[in-house]
Structure 1
């Protein structure tokens, strides 16, 4: 998956600025809240995949539901890249698929988030988080085109929600 991030960062920045302006948050440090929001979104994604639910034989949610959850997390991941004090890559090539379980990939993202929270000043921590999060998408079988399309759709929904006082 080779995801072009430039336009996604720009759209996310527009949404973030709108929310901050409308909510009077321009001077508030939102990094920890965004890290927690991303942790929650990662958990919601894992829940929809059911990859850790060894006690259940229920199938994962439909691909569209899982993709929407993946993109919800991507919104906060991009948002963190905007707010942190460094220049982030505008294109990301996810490494070839390795023999890694989905459970391991989720746990790695949680570990990356803890590292990022404790050391925000190293851009490499953010890049690793982005690569590992996109690896989840690859393990789930998403293409860059699917992620892009789903992001655009969800970004539109998020703007509509703001219009409605969400």
Structure 2
């Protein structure tokens, strides 16, 4: 796929602008809402990964739909072939790109240039559960400056530093721990972005 991260960022800006315009949110500080939304999506991603559930015998990542509402889990062929839901949806990837939507939206709200969205590096071997916790921690600190008495002049840099730290962990989780490559992520993002526009059109 020839889509770039910059193009995904522009698509997110278009979606955000539409939501702000159609919901009458001009001038509203949406950062607290977006940070919380991202934390919720990270939790949902962890829930699909399942590796932290030491109390369960079922700790395998959810990479396919097990009980499909379209075919009741029996993979009934439709006119185009096998069930399009069961054979296309990866719940873990779906949650990952939901997170990416909010990461890109926060980047827009922090007025970050596209160059700041590149943070791919190898990370040391370690506990994936701890990486999820570190991710949530850094995301939470993106707007915690008002509780930590950060001087006003330093707030912008403080937020950006924690955003970049969170993004670094997020990319590492996706590619090095969850097994997604950029083409998969970009394709899933574009599909979800289209769905999000359709939801706005339908009064979501």
Give the TM-score normalised by the residue count of structure 1.
0.91
Query: 1:9 and 1:52 mapped to 2: Cα distance?
Result: 31
3-state DSSP class of the match of 2:118? Answer: strand
Which residue does 2:203 correspond to in 1? 165
Q: Which runs of 5+ in 2 are unaligned?
A: 65-89, 146-154
Query: 2:26 and 2:50 mapped to 1: Cα distance?
Result: 38
Q: Which moved more, 1:144-153 or 1:80-89?
A: 80-89
3-state DSSP class of the match of 2:130? Answer: helix
Which residue does 2:167 correspond to in 1? 130
3-state DSSP class of the match of 2:156? Answer: coil
Kept after mapping to 1: 8 A contact 2:39/2:140: no
2:188 to 140, 150, 158: 150
Kept after mapping to 2: 8 A contact 1:13/1:79: yes
Q: Which runs of 5+ in 1 are unaligned?
A: none
Q: Which moved more, 1:88-97 or 1:115-124?
A: 88-97
Cα displacement string for residues 81-140 of structure 1 (whole angstroms, at most 9, x for unaligned residues): 001144352552421242022201101111111221224511222211111111110210
Work out the number of aligned pairs and report it. Answer: 164
Bigger helix fraction: 1
Q: Which moved more, 1:133-142 or 1:121-130?
A: 121-130
Structure with larger RCO (C-alpha < 8 A, sep 6+): 1
Query: 1:85 and 1:97 mapped to 2: Cα distance?
Result: 27
TM-aligned CA deviation for residue 15 of structure 1:
0.3
Q: Which moved more, 1:20-29 or 1:90-99?
A: 90-99
Which residue does 2:63 correspond to in 1? 62
Query: 1:33 and 1:91 mapped to 2: Cα distance?
Result: 21
Which stretches of structure 1, 4 residues or more, deviate above 2 A after TM superposition? Answer: 85-91
2:134 to 82, 101, 108: 108
Which residue does 1:23 correspond to in 2? 23
Query: 1:137 and 1:112 mapped to 2: Cα distance?
Result: 17
Query: 2:37 and 2:138 mapped to 1: Cα distance?
Result: 14
What's the Cα RMSD here?
1.7
Give the TM-score normalised by the residue count of structure 2.
0.75
